[in-house]
Structure 1
C-alpha cells in the first residue's frame, strides 16, 4: 500500500475495510522508502530507473522482468559496510544470488553466506574469495562439505551432530582444520511469520540452548580438537523490525560463551547474530537504518560482555533482504481488468506466483504503481493477480490504482529483490523471468529469461 499522500486526491474509496484502506491516496506518488534509489517519474509520468525509461526496458527485455538498480544495491552494501566498520558483513545469498551480484558484493567489500552446494558453485564461479565465504545449511551432504573444504571456504556453520561427525571425518582425511561456528537455537520467537521465524525451539535449525545440546556440541568440538571452533551463531528469523529479539538472543548466546569459557578455559573470538533485518514493502513498515542497527547491536554485545567478564568477540551479521530487497522491482504488463460486482477490481498481469510466491506462501504484502504513465482519474481499490490457475495467485493483495488502469499498462511492484527470483518456479510451465541490471543509463541482462525451449530441454521423456 502506498503512502497516504495529501494533495490532489480523487474519488471516494468507500467504507469497506480498515481505516488505512479508506484513506484516499495520490496514485501517482512514489514513496521513497519503497523504491530503489534511482527510481523517479519522468516528465511524461513514466518511471525511470538508472536514467532509463521503463517503457524502453519493457520493449527491449519483455515482461515480466526483474529490474535491479545496481547503484542502489551497491550503495546498500556500502551502508552496511560503513555502519559495521570493523565487523564482517556477510551478504545472505539465499535472498538473491547470481554471478553478477556476487561480483558486486565482492567489489563492495562484503563477505558472502551460502547455504547449498549450488550457491557455493555460483560464488566460486564468480570469483568470490573462498576465505570470505560462510557455508550454512541444516543438512549439508558429504559432497557439499568436501567441496567446501577443498575450496578453502572460510567458515562452516555446523547445524547438527551428524554434520560435526561428517566434517570431522573429512577434515581428518584431508589433514585440514576448518573454522566452524555452532548454530544455536536460542528460544526467541521473532515477531514474524511462523515459517520464517527460526530461533524458537520447535524447528529444524541449530542446536538447542535450553536443552543443552548447544553446549554439548561446542564442548565436543573443543575436546576433539579437529575442527577450529571460532564462535557461536544465532539467527532469530526474517523481516524483523523489533531489535528486542536480537537483544535477548545476544544475551543468551553470550551466556553460552561464558559457559564454554568456564568449562574449558576457552574464550571464543567470534559471534554471528545473523540477519533478518526488515525492509519496507508497504508504508506500514518502518525499517531501521544500518547505522541504527549497528549502534544497537554493538551496545547490546558490549554491555553483556561486560556483565559476563568476556572479551568482546568479533561481530558478524548477515543482511540479505535488506540489501537486495529494495534494490529490485518487478515490471509487469496488465492483461485484463475485471470489476467483480463492485466488490473489487482485479488487475491481472503477465506473471504471478511463479515469479513471486511470497504473497501466497507468507501472506506477504506488496505495493504497486502504474509505471508507464500518470493518471488524473479517481483511485480504486484493486487486487493485482497473476495468470496462474490458482485463486491464491495474488501479487498485491490491496492497492490503490487509477480507475482508468487498462490492458497494456505497465505495472511496477517494488521490493522484489529478495526471495522472488530465488524462489521462482515453472508452475503451469511458465518460463521464469530474466533479471536486468541498470546503472548510469545502461541496462544489461544478468540472468536471462527462460524460454519454452529451456523447459522442453529438461523433459527427456
Structure 2
C-alpha cells in the first residue's frame, strides 16, 4: 500500500489484503481512502469497525471466504481449503456478514475468494464460484443487502518452463465470466461486478535474473550419469521459491553462443544450504565455465519481493531494459547497507 501510494497510484483503486492487519495499517488505509479492504477474521472486523466509527467513515469491505477447494498446486500456495490461515469458512463468513450489516458502520460490498497460485485451468474456480455465489445469494436474502462485487482472487499460472502452458487473459476472463453467469442464472440473481488479481501473470514474465557462474563441478550419479553443478553468484537469497515451493525454473547460457553438446545441469547458489538450488534440472552446454552468464527467466513475480540477506549476501540491482537502453531502477546493495541498521 505504501509503495502504491508513493507511486501516486489512485488510492480508491487499491484493494488492501492481509490476514493480520494491524490497527496502524488499517488506520493508514482509511486515511488514504483505500477503495476496498478485504476482511479476514472477526478480530479484523471489530478492529476496522472501531476505527471507522472513530473517524466517522464507512469504508467498503469484502469478506475473504475459503470455499473448501483443493487447488492443484503446491500446498503452501493453496489457500482455499479449510485448514489454513486465510479467510473465513462459508458458515463463518455468513455470520460475519450479519455482524457487519447489523453494526451499520462498514459497507459490505461483496465476497473475495482466492483458491491458490500457479493454476492453469478453471476447474477449481468453477467449484469455488458455485459455493461463493451460493453464499452471495444467501447473504443478500438473509440480510436484505445488495453485494455489487465479487473478487475471484488471482493465482493464474505463468510459464516458468516449457512444460507450463498458461491460458491467455482473454480466455481466462471469458471462462470465469461464463462460470459466474451460469451460477447466477441458476439462482435467478443479478451477476455482480467481477474482479481478479492477476499479479504474477502480469509481472512474472517481465523479468529475468542474470547470474555469473563461479564454479562448475561434475558429479557422478547412479548408472554412470553425470550431473554438472553450476554455482552462481546468488541463490536462495534472491530466489527462495525453489527451496520453499519446490518450484521449477529454466535456464540458458546468456553470454555467448555454444555448440557444445548438452549436459544435465543443476544451477545452485552460494549459500550454506544443500537446498540452495535455483534450477533443479536443465540441459546446459557442456562447456559452461566460470565467468559465463546464466539467465533464469520468469523471476518478476516473487523473487525480488521475497529476497533476503541470508549469509549477509547483498541483494542484486534491478535493471530496466527497453529499446536497446538500460537503466538502474533499484541499485545494488552494499556491505554498508547491510551494516547501516546496527546500533550496538
TM-score by length of 1: 0.73
* Alpha-carbon distance in 2 for matches of 1:261, 1:460: 55
Q: Does 1:179 align with 2:63?
A: no
Which of 156, 165, 174 is matched with 1:295 structurally?
A: 174
2:185 paired residue number: 306
**Deviation string for 1:317-339 (max 9, x for gaps)?**
00111011111100011111111
Which of 215, 231, 234 is matched with 1:336 structurally?
A: 215
2:280 paired residue number: 397
Contact 1:275 1:317 in 2 (8 A): yes
Q: Does 1:240 align with 2:119?
A: yes
**Deviation string for 1:418-461 (max 9, x for gaps)?**
11000000000000111111112221211111110000111222
Q: Does 1:384 align with 2:267?
A: yes
**Deviation string for 1:91-148 (max 9, x for gaps)?**
xxxxxxxxxxxxxxxxxxxxxxxxxxxxx11111111111011100000000000010
Alignment of 1:174-213 (within 5 A): 174-209=55-90, 212-213=91-92
* Alpha-carbon distance in 1 for matches of 2:196, 2:263: 42
CA drift at 1:406: 0.7
Q: Does 1:139 align with 2:20?
A: yes
* Alpha-carbon distance in 1 for matches of 2:204, 2:328: 18
* Alpha-carbon distance in 2 for matches of 1:257, 1:368: 45
2:4 paired residue number: 123
Contact 1:182 1:233 in 2 (8 A): yes
Contact 1:257 1:267 in 2 (8 A): no
Instruction: For residue 251 of structure 1, give the secondary structure of its aligned residue in structure 2.
Output: helix
The size of the alignment, in residue pairs, is 340
Contact 1:184 1:253 in 2 (8 A): yes
1:361 paired residue number: 244
Instruction: For residue 63 of structure 2, give the secondary structure of its aligned residue in structure 1.
Output: strand
Which of 225, 229, 246 is matched with 2:104 structurally?
A: 225
Which of 249, 254, 258 is matched with 2:137 structurally?
A: 258
* Alpha-carbon distance in 2 for matches of 1:154, 1:142: 17
More contact order relative to length (CA 8 Å, sep ≥ 6): 1
Q: Does 1:271 align with 2:153?
A: no
Which of 161, 169, 179 is matched with 1:282 structurally?
A: 161
* Alpha-carbon distance in 1 for matches of 2:2, 2:229: 41
Instruction: For residue 446 of structure 1, give the secondary structure of its aligned residue in structure 2.
Output: strand
Contact 2:226 2:264 in 1 (8 A): no
Contact 2:61 2:110 in 1 (8 A): yes
Instruction: For residue 294 of structure 1, give the secondary structure of its aligned residue in structure 2.
Output: helix
Contact 2:234 2:270 in 1 (8 A): yes
Contact 2:251 2:297 in 1 (8 A): yes
CA drift at 1:403: 0.8
Runs of 4+ in 1 over 4 A off after TM superposition: none
* Alpha-carbon distance in 2 for matches of 1:276, 1:203: 17
What is the root-mean-square deviation in Å for CA atoms of aligned residues? 0.8
CA drift at 1:267: 2.6
* Alpha-carbon distance in 2 for matches of 1:310, 1:138: 30
* Alpha-carbon distance in 2 for matches of 1:213, 1:453: 49
